[in-house]
Amino acid sequence: VGGILTNFLLLFAIRRFSRQSVGTYKYLLAIFASFDIFLTIIHRLTNPVKVIKNAIVSLKLQTVVTIRIKEITGAYCAFFTVPFALMNIHFLYRFWAIRHPEKIILFSNKKFIALISMAPISVFVSWHLICTRIMSGAHDEIGTIRLYEEYFRRYGKKIRDGWILVNFSEEDGMRTLGFISMLTLDVIMIGSFSIAITLAILTYHYITLADTKISSATINLQFKLLIAVCAQTFVPLVFVYLPYMGVNNLAVLRVPAYPVDRVCMQLTACFPLWDALIIIVLIRDYREGVISLVRKKKVIDTKTTVWKT
């Protein structure tokens, strides 16, 4: 509920209080807020649980209607990789706004929009294929049987379908596939974060070297927007990426991860709410606009004197 309300509030603030100088960047913010609402809804509808047992890492969706298709569970995981790809588009916009402002018009070009849309789509497809093709296992494998037992011990329910599993166990020869899946996911996450860091550093560098022809107000606005994007990047990193990397790598090292797997899902549920709050708080126009909605305007009674000559 909090995630949905705060992101709808952000969408309202973007529409009502965005100044003209923000330009098409407001549409990027609106896309991000809309996708956060979508993530919040699917998280509530699917109610996912992560189960870790020794060297076995798995994910199961606990919906009212039993999901027996592994592709749906893989899609859930893949959807949560899209925000970081969108974030890199945000950083690209911020970098061009200060370094190549003449290129900002491309964000209004349909062909360019279709081109940059391939970044989140490619990440989604890659993650989904890893989850459904590599993170698999037959029903009679040792790792799968252990998953059944651990899930039943925790939740008192039997599962047979609809889960994804990465197995680092040496006993049934799945350790190699487990390493391949873990390394691939780590490369995707670290690669996305590296791109974000590089663009953020370059943007900050060119803001400090801004031409004297650029007004101080514009430079100040660009700096504040960069801070907001960096803070917004920090949220999915802490609430989604690092917990996922943690549970996967702990399983490789055979370090007991319980109850990290439960905390991981709780953190994932929280991040859309904090994502919207950070933007509202850090961008002054939105912050003051939201405050003005709940604060009564002071009525000042002034006396005027008319002078006649």
What is the C-alpha separation between 90 and 227, in angstroms, rounded? 12
Check if the beta carbon of residue 23 is closer than 8 Å to that of residue 37. Answer: no
**Per-residue model confidence (pLDDT) at position 309:** 45
User: pLDDT by residue (tens digit) across 71-125?
Assistant: 888 888 889 888 888 889 989 998 998 888 889 889 888 899 999 999 999 989 9
Phi, psi of 49 (to 5 degrees): -130, 140
Which residues 6+ apart lie within 8 Å of 188 measured at CB? 81, 123, 126, 127
Token pair 């998280």 in the structure block, residue: 43
Print burial letters for 138-167: b (CB count within 10 Å at least 16), e (below 16).
eeebebbebbbebbeeeeeeebeebbbbbb
User: pLDDT by residue (tens digit) across 232-247?
Assistant: 888 888 888 888 777 7
Q: Amino acid letter at 249?
A: N
Q: Amino acid letter at 118?
A: M
Alpha helices in 47-81 (DSSP H): 70-79
The angle at the Cα of 174, spanning 238 to 149, to the nearest 5 degrees, equals 75
Question: Which residues of the chain have a pLDDT value below 50?
Answer: 299, 309
What is the C-alpha separation between 295 and 287, in angstroms, rounded? 12
Q: Amino acid letter at 175?
A: R
**Per-residue model confidence (pLDDT) at position 124:** 92
pTM of the model: 0.81
